[in-house]
């Protein structure tokens, strides 16, 4: 019995003499144990969890697998082992014990905050798959929640590192309110702008918006808290501050896309010198146009009745009403558009004269195509304008354009030819 007691006393004495070595060995063992626990959790437990998830529809979801929330949460396990194990090591300095526990606690808080942030990203990705997601995007709101999580996590991490209550830090934030307002000014303004944009349905992902001041003209590809990304038609990307969409004007083409028709507003510039009254032979020629035969017959009856009321004065052409080639052409253009299978008759359709000027008489076409696709729209518009310019000579009309170099050259040749004509001797 005395021998056993002596042996125990010797071990205690040996430990007291070599407690630094023992503590170091215990710390190494704790580190190895935490590393092993991390290995077991990530290599074995996570594999089992992923195997179970693979049996569901979420197991093959790319968005969920790329933002692996479970793998981030697995980092909490070794930190918990460190917190529980450090207190079991005897004779370890209290200061070292507190530091290790505080750092491990701060690491757990950081890990949980990052995992929650990734979970919000996954939630937004899953929400984007809803049919009505473009109408009511939630990315801005989730970013606000993420900022709040990170701010709270930062306060808790600092409180854990200095081993103080978070309430002490929160009580000091009141004095820093002005500084925080200055630091988060853009975030607060963007938050208000995001709420206004979402509540009033001003912009959705997929909308075509035009903002010349910021050189943005294209489709919206992302609506976030601070920025709105627009992919321009030249495939460049313009990033707009969210608050600028509330404070400055911009054009949204969504109404045009939803209506199913895109406007054509083009003018033909006619040479005013080619405008004249129609002669009988010209009328007979134009009656061959299917679109004009009924119009001309009705106009002849209308004008005959009108001129008959003039009595004896109806023999003077100055007093009578007569058809003009430009008026008949305007009627032809309107009927041509009405019969066109790519033009919508249930939307506004006009063929009108604008104020004449130095560029001739503008005859404006105002109508809507039955498609909003850009390439198809341009083809329809070009085909219509091509046809109308080509048919102008049938009405005795000419298109007006500024004299070109070739026109001036012809004038020069004409003057030179006149100068070469010998003078007539009287």
**Contact between residue 156 and residue 169 where contact means Cβ atoms under 8 Å apart:** no
* pLDDT tens digits, 260-290: 899 999 999 999 999 999 998 999 899 999 9
pLDDT score, position 426: 45
pLDDT score, position 255: 87
pLDDT score, position 43: 67
pLDDT score, position 122: 80
3-class SS of residue 125: helix
3-class SS of residue 226: coil
Left, alpha or beta for 425 (phi > 0: left; psi -120 to 50: alpha)?
beta
CA-nearest of 88, 86, 98 to 164 is: 98
Domains of the chain in start order, with CATH, are 2-173 (no CATH), 202-254 (2.30.30.60), 263-407 (3.30.70.100)
Q: How far apart are CA 426 and CA 408, in angstroms?
A: 33
In sequence order, the 6+-apart residues with CB closer than 8 A to the CB of 378 are none
pLDDT score, position 210: 92
**Contact between residue 356 and residue 275 where contact means Cβ atoms under 8 Å apart:** no
Angle of helix 2-17 relative to helix 19-40, nearest 10 degrees, comes to 80
Longest dimension (CA), the chain: 165
**Contact between residue 111 and residue 78 where contact means Cβ atoms under 8 Å apart:** no
pLDDT score, position 379: 95
In sequence order, the 6+-apart residues with CB closer than 8 A to the CB of 319 are 310, 313
**Which regions in the chain score pLDDT beneath 50?**
4, 8, 11-12, 14-15, 17, 425-426
CB atoms < 10 A from the CB of 379, how many?
14
């Amino acid at each position: 019995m005395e021998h056993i007691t002596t042996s125990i006393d010797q071990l205690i004495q040996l430990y007291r003499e070599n407690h630094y070595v023992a503590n170091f060995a215990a710390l190494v063992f704790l580190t190895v144990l935490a590393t092993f626990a991390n290995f077991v959790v990530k290599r074995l437990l996570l594999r089992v969890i992923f195997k179970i998830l693979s049996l569901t529809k979420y197991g093959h979801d790319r968005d969920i697998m790329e933002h692996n929330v479970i793998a981030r949460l697995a980092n909490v396990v070794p930190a918990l082992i460190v917190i529980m194990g450090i207190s079991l090591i005897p004779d370890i300095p209290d200061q070292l014990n507190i530091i290790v526990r505080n750092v491990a606690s701060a690491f757990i808080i950081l890990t949980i905050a990052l995992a929650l942030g990734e979970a919000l990203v996954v939630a937004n990705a899953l929400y984007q798959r809803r049919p009505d997601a473009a109408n009511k995007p939630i990315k801005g709101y989730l970013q606000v929640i993420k900022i709040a999580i990170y701010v709270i996590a930062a306060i808790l991490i600092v409180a854990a590192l200095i081993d103080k209550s978070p309430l002490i830090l929160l009580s000091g934030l009141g004095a820093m309110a002005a500084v925080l307002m200055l630091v988060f000014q853009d975030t607060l303004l963007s938050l208000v702008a995001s709420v206004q944009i979402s509540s009033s349905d001003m912009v959705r992902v997929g909308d075509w918006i035009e903002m010349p001041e910021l050189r943005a003209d294209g489709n919206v590809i992302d609506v976030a808290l601070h920025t709105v990304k627009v992919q321009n038609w030249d495939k460049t990307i313009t990033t707009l501050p969210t608050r600028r969409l509330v404070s400055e004007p911009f054009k949204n083409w969504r109404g045009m896309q939803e209506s199913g028709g895109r406007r054509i507003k083009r003018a033909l510039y006619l040479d005013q010198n080619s405008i004249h009254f129609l002669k009988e032979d010209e009328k007979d020629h134009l009656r061959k146009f299917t679109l004009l035969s009924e119009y001309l017959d009705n106009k002849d009856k209308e004008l005959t009745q009108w001129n008959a009321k003039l009595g004896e004065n109806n023999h003077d052409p100055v007093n009578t009403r007569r058809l003009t080639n430009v008026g008949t052409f305007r009627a032809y253009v309107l009927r041509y558009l009405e019969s066109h299978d790519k033009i919508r008759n249930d939307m506004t359709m006009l063929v009108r004269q604008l104020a004449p000027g130095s560029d001739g008489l503008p005859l404006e076409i105002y109508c809507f195509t039955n498609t909003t696709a850009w390439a198809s729209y341009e083809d329809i518009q070009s085909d219509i304008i091509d046809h109308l310019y080509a048919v102008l000579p049938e009405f005795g009309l000419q298109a007006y354009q500024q004299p070109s170099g070739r026109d001036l050259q012809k004038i020069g040749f004409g003057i030179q030819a006149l100068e070469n004509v010998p003078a007539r001797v009287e």
